Amino acid sequence: MAVEPGEREGDEEPGRSTNHDSGSIPEAQMQDRLGGYFASALQGIVGTDVPAALCRACVDLMDITGASVSLVGTSADARTLWWSSDEVAGRLAETQYTLGSGPCMTVLSHVAPVLAADLAGGADAARWPVFAQQAVELGVRAVFSLPLGSTAVVFGTLDLYRASPGALSEQDRALAFPAADAITTALLHLDAQGAENPLARSWLDQSETDHEEVHQATGMIMVHLGVDSHHALARLRAHAFTNGQSVTEAAFDVIAGRIRFHE
């Protein structure tokens, strides 16, 4: 089931190993190990490549199949995929953006981590039924989505997925949350450099411009139907889902005049 702050994940499957090292590692030692690994992973890495390097470290260190970082702009509807470890991770992020539903969307609305241990059944599948079905079709059984930001404001998510079901082990949890903090720090550092370094321009600006087509298509639908932006985006998402498209693909069709919305 999905786990949020104040709750505890269930026990791991009997006999299943969910971390790379056997035995229990003290928290302080785990933090030192994480810091050392991140430092090694970031050698020679600068600027906008830092979050990607940290994500790669997550995949190397934890019992997960893939990872991605998604950002939001000034509007929660403006999202962009900053980096993904593989095609499935990218499609998983785009699926949530298209549907407006899924663990990372819940993180953004509740400002809390969401740990879904099995999308093929139970509470997790019931919570996001359409997303869960599409995720399983992609070969994804578990998704662990962590907020990037502060306790009050979230500007993105670190999304970890696994091809097999099961909760995060205690050791992987001890790595995942500091990893999200490290990525948050790296992104804030990039934002601070934006005025001096064009290569480190605001990632919040990028998260909006990268989905400029969705904004433009939403505006056209607002004019056609006389509705507000939320209703227009909902219509765009519904069209995308019905036709097996991503919301970005559907937006291109609206802009090109290949589809029009009517009352």
The distance in angstroms from the start CA to the end CA of the chain is 40
Same fold for the domain at 2-193 and the one at 211-255? no
Per domain, the residue ranges of the chain are 2-193, 211-255
pLDDT in tens, 118-157: 999 889 999 999 999 999 999 999 999 999 988 778 888 9
Out of 1.10.10, 1.10.287, 3.40.50, 1.10.1060, which CATH number does the structure's domain 211-255 have? 1.10.10
Angle 141-144-146 from CA coordinates, rounded to 5°: 160
Model pTM greater than 0.75?
A: no
pLDDT digits (tens, 9 = 90+) for 9-59: 433 333 333 344 434 555 566 566 666 666 666 666 655 666 677 778 889
H or E stretch at 179: helix 170-193
Taking only the tens place, the pLDDT of each residue in 169-216 is 998 998 899 888 888 887 777 655 544 444 444 445 554 444 677 777
How far is it, in rounded angstroms, from Cα 218 to Cα 238? 12
- 41: how many CB neighbours lie within 10 A of its CB? 18
CATH number belonging to the domain at 2-193, selected among 3.30.450.40, 3.40.50.12160, 3.40.50.1240, 1.25.40.10: 3.30.450.40
Strand partners, 162: 142
